[in-house]
Structure 1
């Protein structure tokens, strides 16, 4: 699997753990989902890259002020399903890139 360099706005497939799952004691995601990288920072001195990812979901959020609906044209370009989808900013995961929860996107040999 080719792993791209992390960059702002990159959409990856990732085993995302929701806060309610973590609160219930779950430590592995139930489902791989598309995620967008919101922030990628390089830390010195070991040069590790830390990223923050926001989930993309088809479930309409209760709090629309903490989400952005992804326009149809953008969903199509990203290869996402045609149903309405939202990028949520009230649920974020942080990890060191590339991380073990990255997954290949079906039909491609890489994560993007």
Structure 2
């Protein structure tokens, strides 16, 4: 996979670092999990691809968390069809740079890709969180 293959809606495996883990001083995600490329921005004046990655989990969310439950069809499209249920977390995201990432394995093949209609709904739901830096877990250090 090349950085330019990382488009909005693509699902890859990534060692996602939860905000609560970062607040406790952790710097590494505990395990690889499916994540959705919510945003992939390529700067014309550099060779960097900036990514906003949203975690997907099969564990029901804790009260107070903002998630979208995935329909069965979207689970199949995402390559997680064996899960009984899945949620995508929209109230936080990992920020990374594809070409410089210590965490993103560019040798992997994407698991799948969400539909355009689901991504439009996802964009509308997570937009308020992307406007604040407190939702961002920076993985570029």
> How high is the TM-score relative to the length of structure 1?
0.82
Residue equivalent to 1:101: 103
RMSD: 1.9
Q: Quick one: higher RCO (CA 8 Å, sep 6+), 1 or 2?
A: 1
> How high is the TM-score relative to the length of structure 2?
0.67
Residue equivalent to 1:67: 67
Aligned length: 106
Q: Deviations over 1:24-81 (max 9, x none)?
A: 11101111100001011112422311010000011222236x2111111221233213
Q: Distance in 2 between matches of 1:50 and 1:17?
A: 17
Residue equivalent to 1:110: 108
Residue equivalent to 2:55: 55
- Larger proportion of strand: 1
Q: Distance in 1 between matches of 2:32 and 2:2?
A: 16
Q: Distance in 2 between matches of 1:36 and 1:93?
A: 10
The runs of 5 or more residues in structure 2 that have no matched partner are 111-141
Query: 2:98, 2:104 within 8 Å by CA — same for their partners in 1?
Result: no
Query: 1:37, 1:54 within 8 Å by CA — same for their partners in 2?
Result: yes
